[in-house]
Amino acid sequence: MADHIYKKVEVVGTSTVSIDDAIQKGIARAADTINHVEWFEVSEIRGHVAGGKVDHFQVVMKVGFRLD
């Protein structure tokens, strides 16, 4: 197995549907603009409340990608 070097960036995925959807959208967008995305870790989950109900989810993630 070869040694690799990785870099991390912070991404905030958002969704009106669910936490999972916010993660999926954040990772998909990161993978569109960053090569070799290989892992993520969730560091924060928060949301917006409107009318006494959850209106919007935000998930802060660190996304790791392998450097060429």
As a whole number of angstroms, the distance between CA 28 and CA 13 comes to 9
Residue 1 belongs to some domain of the structure: no
CB atoms within 10 A of CB 61: 23
Count of structural domains within the chain: 1
pLDDT in tens, 17-49: 999 999 999 999 999 999 999 999 999 999 999
For 59, half-sphere exposure in the C-beta direction (CA atoms, 13 angstrom radius) is 21
Residue 29 belongs to some domain of the structure: yes
Residue 33 belongs to some domain of the structure: yes
Identify the domain containing residue 13 by its residue range: 6-66
As a whole number of angstroms, the distance between CA 19 and CA 5 comes to 29
Residue 31 belongs to some domain of the structure: yes
pTM over 0.75: yes
Residue 61 belongs to some domain of the structure: yes
**CATH number (domain holding residue 35):** 3.30.1660.10
